Amino acid sequence: MSKVGGARPGAGRKPGTLNQRSAEMAADILGSGKSPLEYLLEVMVDESTDQKRRDWAAEKAAAFIHPRPAPTPRTVQLQLPAIDTAKDMPGAIAGVLKAVADGEISPSEAQSVVAIIEAQRKAVETTDLLERIEALEGRITR
């Protein structure tokens, strides 16, 4: 029995296809020989253009003229236990979690600190494994 109703495979507008208005604007921009920013600024200051289109041009041009400032990183100071063994890691991460819960640091700052703790964990574990391997090799060669 065949499927009845619903969308047919391959039916409808293909992804990325421009609607009529977008196609007209793209043709205007490409035909003018101007950069997109120049075109947007020209539309924005043209008093004879529809107000909605002028507002749209101003909104799009603003990102080029006034980019968002990059967030400035800040130094975070936390009291964490010494991290000498892999067993010390949960306590350090718990300290970071407490600082987030108390509002001392933001979650994104905590994520950065935990990434540093994770790098320290890997270094500690690598050192421990190297010592164990050397000890095993020492037993085998004797």
Among 110, 120, 115, 116, which Cα is nearest to 84's? 120
Q: Taking the mean position of all CA atoms in its chain, how far away is CA 7?
A: 35
Distance (Å, whole) CA 28 – CA 36:
10
User: Residue 142 is encoded by which pair of tokens?
Assistant: 């004797």
Does residue 101 have a pLDDT over 90? yes
Does residue 3 have a pLDDT over 70? no
Q: What is the pLDDT of residues 28-60, one digit of tens each?
A: 777 777 788 888 888 899 999 999 999 999 999
Residue 39 is predicted with a pLDDT of: 83
Q: What is the pLDDT of residues 49-95, one digit of tens each?
A: 999 999 999 999 888 888 788 878 888 888 888 888 888 888 999 99
Distance (Å, whole) CA 64 – CA 103:
35
Residue 51 is predicted with a pLDDT of: 93
